[in-house]
Amino acid sequence: MMTRMQLLRVYLSEGDRFDGRPAYAALVERLQAAGASGATVFKGIEGFGSSGTLRSARVFDLSTDLPIVVEAIESPEKIAALLPIVHEVLSGGIVTLEGIEMLQLVATEGEG
């Protein structure tokens, strides 16, 4: 059964901080505390943002400011309730919202 949901995607940098810790970690903790069903952090291997500075995880590059994406899927109402947390944690970055159709697979007895 398909369910209408919303995808929250937050783009930030590995070097972004909130209260002296990585902003992505603080964001995930706060989303969990607010009752989000889940959140995932993806670390990019290369990218650039509005500054135009290319960050890369290539062998000879020692960048510690790689791109980070945090994603969460919730109902549109729940996403709206979580957005103030995103605003609180981020001092910069980009947030996108996307309407999606979610199909949740559940293992039946004898599988997986």
pLDDT at 58: 58
Question: Under the phi-then-psi rule, with left for phi > 0, alpha for psi from -120 to 50, and beta for the rest, what region is 12?
Answer: beta
pLDDT at 63: 58
pLDDT at 59: 53
pLDDT at 42: 95
Report domain extents, the chain. Answer: 2-103
In the chain, DSSP assigns E strands to 2-13, 17-18, 21-22, 40-43, 46-48, 54-56, 67-74, 94-103
pLDDT at 94: 92
| CATH class of residue range 2-103 | alpha beta
pLDDT at 54: 66
The tens place of each residue's pLDDT in the chain, 112 residues long, gives 889 999 999 999 888 999 999 999 999 999 999 999 999 999 987 776 666 666 665 555 555 678 899 999 999 999 999 999 999 999 888 999 999 999 988 877 775 5
